[in-house]
């Protein structure tokens, strides 16, 4: 085992010397603030090897997922330290110093956790096959696991809280109702939900706004559960769930289209195709509501005004463990792309603080059901979700991540849009008769897997 003095020097080298937490070594020595309410326990030398081989979030993520590091206390205190820990660049002099401290053999790469994914080279992204693989990695974890985390609404996207103490289920109902109103849904209309998840939006729209709805997903397990929910709701004559890529849609017409939490999987080169395909499916005066995670704009001038590619960082924890090939677009680029493909953008709304609250609820659900989650997906996968959701909540709260709803209209040639002169869709969302919950029955064995 590495000596306490050596550990202290290495941790100072990697993360500074003023971290407000307790660090317990494999020999039970304590570094840092011994009275801190939150700490990290280093279980073996692999913890340091991960941190040295990939300093920053990826190394910490690997150490946590593998069990080489445990969090003692609140994970919220750990994820809010992110901005205080630099992504250390291991220059040759630093590597030499670490080699002297640890010994050259200690710099050998430790085993990479099996939960880390590599779906192909970085230069060939967003083909249909590769998108399907990326979606499967994230969404085909098991319906039973998602039910534990998401709760009875089966909804994996940002909720809308009218009050801080709204339940998660009520806030998810609020979100679906808000989108339904922005789309102007009414009986007899035809709705397409792109990336329909477990069917939350199409069920809500059919049940409470009288539409006929089609939901598409490329996750087999999501589709199986969504179809089960549609049957249970008695809506099979008005709601259809398909396994289908949006690029394979054609020859159909819809009065309205919703895309909720799917846009993060659309690459920069696909923005035009995405909006053109969906616009081609809309009737004149039809509306598209795009609900997507975004990022802050880059500082400074752009080259020739071009939008910037915004990969989830390829050496970051999110890309390797959570959203391979994910891209986060700045909302201005999104609005520009919509208008260039013929939409008239009529409304934009930020829900950033709402997603921080939503993720906090999901983390709470996971922690309360931790033993069952580990039983379903294994401890490594449960740790991935624990860290990713807590870190994401902190990033939304700090403004590092953003989320927007953007409403576009396929305005008619004569300028007719069918939009009201003034909008009132934010009023009294919490309609008491709307309830997305289903009876708490044990999911069937055949239904193992967002909207």
Q: Give the contacts of 332 (CB within 8 A, at least 6 positions apart).
A: 297
pLDDT at 126: 52
Mean pLDDT, residues 370-397: 95
- Report the C-alpha gap between 323 and 242 in whole angstroms: 23
- Report the C-alpha gap between 7 and 25 in whole angstroms: 8
Beta bridge partners of 70: 41
Across 135-144, 320-329, 372-381, the highest mean pLDDT is recorded for 372-381
pLDDT at 449: 34
pLDDT at 271: 87
The residue among 37 and 215 whose pLDDT is bigger is: 215
Mean pLDDT, residues 114-127: 63
Distances (CA, A) of 159 to 218, 367, 395, 418, 429: 23, 20, 16, 27, 12
The residue among 276 and 27 whose pLDDT is bigger is: 276
- Report the C-alpha gap between 386 and 78 in whole angstroms: 12
pLDDT at 66: 96
- Residue 170's Cβ-count burial label (10 Å; 0-12, 13-18, 19+) is buried
- Report the C-alpha gap between 34 and 136 in whole angstroms: 43
The residue among 12 and 159 whose pLDDT is bigger is: 159
Q: Give the contacts of 100 (CB within 8 A, at least 6 positions apart).
A: none
Mean pLDDT, residues 42-56: 84
Helices H, strands E: what count in the chain? Answer: 16, 11
Within 255-378, residue ranges assigned H as helices are 271-281, 317, 331-340, 352-368, 370-377
- Mean pLDDT is lowest, of 35-49, 135-149, 306-320, 428-442, for 428-442
Is the model's pLDDT at 14 over the cut of 80?
A: no
Mean pLDDT, residues 7-17: 68
- pLDDT digit string, tens, across residues 80-97: 876 655 555 555 666 666
Mean pLDDT, residues 161-176: 94
The residue among 440 and 25 whose pLDDT is bigger is: 25
In the sheet with 69-72, reading across from the earlier edge strand, the strands are 30-32, 22-24, 39-42, 69-72
Confidence of residue 346 (pLDDT cuts 50, 70, 90): very high
Mean pLDDT, residues 21-43: 88
Structure pTM?
0.86
Domains for the chain: give ranges and CATH numbers: 4-107 (3.30.1050), 128-447 (3.40.50.150)
pLDDT at 184: 97
- Report the C-alpha gap between 135 and 225 in whole angstroms: 16
Mean pLDDT, residues 141-155: 92
DSSP state of 262: -
Confidence of residue 57 (pLDDT cuts 50, 70, 90): confident
- Residue 4's Cβ-count burial label (10 Å; 0-12, 13-18, 19+) is middle
Confidence of residue 130 (pLDDT cuts 50, 70, 90): low
pLDDT at 437: 46
- Report the C-alpha gap between 47 and 334 in whole angstroms: 40
- Mean pLDDT is lowest, of 174-188, 206-220, 261-275, 393-407, for 261-275
Assigned token pair, 320 = 């390797």
Mean pLDDT, residues 170-178: 96
Assigned token pair, 151 = 């709760």
Q: What is the mean pLDDT of the chain?
A: 84
Is the model's pLDDT at 301 over the cut of 70?
A: no
Q: Give the contacts of 448 (CB within 8 A, at least 6 positions apart).
A: 142, 143, 144, 221
The residue among 208 and 105 whose pLDDT is bigger is: 208
- Mean pLDDT is lowest, of 105-119, 126-140, 227-241, 363-377, for 126-140
pLDDT at 243: 96
pLDDT at 434: 41
pLDDT at 172: 96
The residue among 243 and 317 whose pLDDT is bigger is: 243
User: What three-state secondary structure class fits 254?
Assistant: strand
Is the model's pLDDT at 7 over the cut of 80?
A: no
Is the model's pLDDT at 433 over the cut of 50?
A: no
The share of the chain scoring above pLDDT 70, in percent, equals 77
The residue among 17 and 277 whose pLDDT is bigger is: 277
Assigned token pair, 198 = 């477990």
Confidence of residue 427 (pLDDT cuts 50, 70, 90): confident
Assigned token pair, 269 = 């080169």
DSSP state of 59: H
Mean pLDDT, residues 144-166: 94
pLDDT at 219: 87
Is the model's pLDDT at 123 over the cut of 50?
A: no
User: What three-state secondary structure class fits 193?
Assistant: strand
- Report the C-alpha gap between 274 and 350 in whole angstroms: 22
State phi, psi for 409 to the nearest 5 degrees: -125, 140
Mean pLDDT, residues 244-269: 90
Q: Give the contacts of 136 (CB within 8 A, at least 6 positions apart).
A: 219, 220
Give the position of tokens 């590091």. 69
Mean pLDDT, residues 60-70: 95
């Amino acid at each position: 085992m590495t000596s306490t003095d050596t550990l202290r020097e290495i941790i100072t080298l990697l993360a500074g010397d003023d971290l407000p937490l307790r660090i317990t070594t494999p020999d039970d020595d304590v570094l840092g603030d011994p009275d801190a309410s939150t700490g990290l326990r280093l279980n073996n030398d692999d913890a340091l090897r991960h941190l040295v081989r990939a300093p920053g979030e990826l190394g910490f993520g690997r150490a946590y997922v593998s069990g080489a590091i445990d969090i003692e206390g609140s994970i919220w205190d750990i994820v809010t330290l992110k901005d205080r820990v630099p992504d250390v660049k291991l220059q040759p002099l630093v590597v030499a110093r670490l080699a002297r401290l640890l010994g050259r053999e200690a710099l050998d790469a430790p085993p990479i956790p099996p939960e880390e994914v590599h779906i192909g080279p970085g230069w060939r992204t967003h083909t249909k096959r590769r998108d399907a693989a990326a979606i499967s990695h994230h969404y085909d974890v098991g319906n039973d696991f998602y039910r534990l985390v998401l709760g009875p609404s089966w909804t994996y996207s940002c909720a809308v809280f009218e009050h801080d103490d709204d339940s998660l289920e009520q806030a998810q109902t609020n979100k679906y109702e808000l989108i339904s109103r922005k789309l102007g849904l009414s009986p007899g209309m035809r709705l397409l939900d792109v990336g329909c998840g477990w069917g939350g939006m199409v069920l809500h729209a059919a049940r409470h706004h009288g539409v006929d709805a089609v939901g598409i997903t490329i996750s087999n397990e999501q589709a199986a559960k969504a179809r089960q929910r549609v049957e249970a709701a008695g809506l099979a004559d008005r709601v259809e769930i398909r396994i289908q890529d949006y690029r394979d849609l054609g020859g159909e017409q819809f009065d309205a289209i919703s895309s909720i939490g799917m846009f993060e999987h659309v690459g920069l080169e696909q923005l035009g195709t995405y909006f053109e395909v969906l616009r081609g499916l809309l009737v004149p005066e039809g509306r598209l509501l795009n609900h997507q995670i975004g990022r802050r704009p880059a500082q400074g001038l752009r080259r020739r005004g071009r939008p910037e590619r915004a990969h989830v960082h390829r050496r970051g924890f999110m890309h390797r463990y959570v959203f391979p090939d994910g891209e986060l677009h700045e909302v201005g680029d999104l609005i520009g792309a919509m208008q260039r493909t013929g939409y008239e953008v009529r409304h934009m709304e930020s829900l950033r603080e709402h997603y921080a609250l939503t993720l906090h609820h999901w983390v709470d659900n996971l922690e309360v059901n931790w033993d069952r989650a580990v039983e379903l997906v294994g401890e490594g996968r449960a740790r991935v979700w624990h860290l990713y959701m807590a870190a994401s909540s902190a990033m939304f709260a700090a403004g590092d991540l953003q989320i927007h709803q953007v409403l576009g209209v396929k305005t008619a040639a004569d300028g007719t849009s069918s939009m009201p002169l003034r909008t009132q869709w934010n009023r009294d969302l919490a309609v008491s008769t709307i309830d997305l919950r289903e009876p708490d029955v044990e999911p069937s064995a055949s239904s193992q897997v967002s909207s």
